[in-house]
Amino acid sequence: MTDPHLTVHFDFVDPLSLLIAEVLRRVDGADLDAVRWQPFEIRPPPMPLTTLDDPELEERWRTARAEAAALGIAFRPPLLVPWTRKAHELVLHARASRLDRQLRDRLFAAHLLEGEDIGRVDVLVDIAHSVGLDRTEAKAVLDVDRYEAEIAELRAAALADGVRAVPTVTRGEKRLEGFHNAAALRTFLDT
């Protein structure tokens, strides 16, 4: 039996992932509470860190900035593109408190709109606290890598299912890769 849920594979440093989240908010009838957000690190460790002036990222950012302008979003990311495993771990931790959606939105905004380095544990702990998570517990979870294996397993499962990039939206056997506007998402949801 195929999974009827809408799943979005994303990464916090990816501007198109933030945009797909915003478009989903704007699609009439989209049940945001039923969307499964699956972490997919673009550059997991030990891949080297990169910066926004990396030629591999230029076209992606050019597309993202044009689409963002149409949605009224102004990107202001830091130059460094950090690893995001710790940010994804924190979201898995937040699920138990049902604060994962708020935390995910806050992490996207912090990195892509406000220029914060979400690769730093101290920054992540402050963000966690801002949405209602206990500061000490959040730091402990990150310090002991409580969800590191699960993040790696989710990425491996996504790769096995054919996910190669973010954002990728799936429902059952259907798949949309890359950024798509509200009309395309509406069509995808209706079929």
What are the residue ranges spanned by the domains of the chain?
Answer: 6-190
Residues 38-54: tens digit of each pLDDT: 999 999 999 999 999 99
Average pLDDT over residues 137-141: 98
Q: What is the pLDDT of residue 105?
A: 98
pLDDT at 142 over 60: yes
CA dihedral 172, 177, 178, 183 (to 10 degrees): -60
102 burial via Cβ count (<10 Å: 0-12, 13-18, 19+): middle
Q: How confident is the model at residue 190 (pLDDT cuts 50, 70, 90)?
A: confident
Pick the residue with more confidence: 4 or 176?
176
Q: What is the pLDDT of residue 2?
A: 58
pLDDT at 118 over 70: yes
**CA–CA gap between residue 142 and residue 111 (Å, rounded):** 18
Average pLDDT over residues 111-126: 99
CB-based contacts of 88: which residues, under 8 Å, 6+ apart?
Answer: 12, 39, 41, 147, 151
Q: What is the pLDDT of residue 3?
A: 66
Q: Radius of gyration (Cα) for the chain, nearest Å?
A: 16
Query: Rounded to two decimals, what is the model's pTM?
Result: 0.95
pLDDT at 1 over 50: no
152 burial via Cβ count (<10 Å: 0-12, 13-18, 19+): middle
Is 6-190 a CATH 3.40.30.10 domain? Answer: yes
Q: What is the pLDDT of residue 10?
A: 99
pLDDT at 173 over 50: yes
Residues 43-86: tens digit of each pLDDT: 999 999 999 999 999 999 999 999 999 999 999 999 999 999 99
Amino acid at 179: F
Helix (H, G, I), strand (E, B) or coil at 52: coil
Q: How confident is the model at residue 30 (pLDDT cuts 50, 70, 90)?
A: confident
Helix (H, G, I), strand (E, B) or coil at 66: helix
Q: What is the pLDDT of residue 31?
A: 81
- Mean pLDDT, the chain, whole residue set: 95
